[in-house]
A = this chain, B = another copy of it.
Amino acid sequence: MAGLKQVQRQTGVALWRQIADRIREAISNGAYDETGMVPPETVLALQFGVNRHTVRSALAALAQEGIVRAVQGRGTLIERKERLNFPITRRTRFTAGIGDQARETRGLLLDEAKEEASAEIARWLGLKPGEEVIRLETLRQADKRPVSRATSWFPAKRFAGIGKAYRTGESITKAFAELGLPDYVRATTEVTAAHASAVDMADLELTPGAILLIAKAMNTDLEGVPVQYSISRFAADRVQFTIEN
């Protein structure tokens, strides 16, 4: 552990940020579960091969995120540690998927717009380019913590009023049900990862350099007719996807 060069210099990523990222991940993976504390600053400095002040910068950033809390004389305590699991199945649903992993889940409608389908959206929804679609911008939370930002498109003709339905039910499943679609299935999911954009960073309360897990998904009704195409961005250090075959 100590000998391994875990951080690199002159790469455009400050050492304190590389170290903060590694510690955040170690906490997520339960590396410090025995003590509930991060190792002392001097020990970390030795492990990473940097000055103690550099480690302090990293810990300050994590404290800013609310992940750790330093107590003079005692050490640096771990405040929060979470990684939600999302099953991706033929019947993938956000709220049901979280299940008992959170006490309270919410879905907030940030924006709603009716627009003409781009070539890509039209292809996914089986429409002609230019046909009307409704776009919803939603933010999903688990226990008041933002988990994902999603952009969804629906055929406007079939799902007029889905924005209002989502706002009251706070869930796509409920909104569909209210509009006369009791059931739907996941057809395809594409998963990628990327750095967060500035807006996603703000909505998901992330720090720069943070990673997003991105799921592009298409849902159909039971006849196989596309009903929704969505691009969901998840804070990568808070979730994992599970695919059961």
Which residues of A166-214 are within 8 A (CB) of B? 185-195, 197-199, 201, 207-209, 211-213
In the complex, whether A101 has a CB less than 8 A from a CB of chain B is: no
For the complex formed, measure the closest distance between the CB of A39 and the CB atoms of chain B, giving whole angstroms. 18
CA distance in complex: A20, B11 (Å): 12
Tell me if A141 is interfacial: C-beta within 8 Å of chain B. no
Q: Which residues, 214 to 245 on A, are CB-close (under 8 Å) to B?
A: 236-237, 239-245
Q: How far is the CA of A166 from the CA of B4 in the complex (A)?
A: 28
Q: Count of A residues near B, CB < 8 Å?
A: 52
In contact, A12 and B209 (Cβ under 8 angstroms): yes
How far apart are the CA atoms of A97 and B14 in the complex, in Å? 37
Specify the chain B residue showing the minimal Cβ separation from A242. Answer: B190
Chain B residues with Cβ below 8 Å from A61 are: 12
A115 within 8 Å of B (CB atoms) = no
A51 CB within 8 Å of chain B: no
A243 touches B25 (CB 8 A): no
Q: How far is the CA of A53 from the CA of B235 in the complex (A)?
A: 32
Decide: B5 and A188 in contact? CB cutoff 8 A: no
Question: What residues on B are CB-neighbors of A239 within 8 Å?
Answer: 192
Partner of A13, one of B17, B25, B237: B17
Complex CA distance for A8 and B208, rounded to whole angstroms = 7
A1-49 interface with B by 8 A CB criterion: 4-8, 11-14, 16-18, 20-22, 25
B89, A236: Cβ atoms closer than 8 Å: no
CB pair A207–B11 under 8 Å, yes or no, is yes
| Given known A14-B13, A16-B12, A242-B188, contact A211–B193 (CB-CB < 8 A) | yes
Interface hub of A7, A11, A193, A213 (most chain B Cβ within 10 A): A193
From the candidates B20, B21, B236, B245, name the one contacting A90 in the complex (CB within 8 A): B245
Cross-chain pairs A/B with CB under 8 angstroms, 17 sampled? A4-B198, A5-B198, A6-B197, A6-B198, A11-B17, A11-B209, A12-B13, A12-B14, A12-B57, A12-B208, A185-B245, A187-B244, A189-B242, A189-B245, A193-B212, A193-B236, A211-B211
Residues of A participating in the B interface, judged by any CB pair closer than 8 Å:
4-8, 11-14, 16-18, 20-22, 25, 57, 61, 88-90, 92, 185-195, 197-199, 201, 207-209, 211-213, 236-237, 239-245
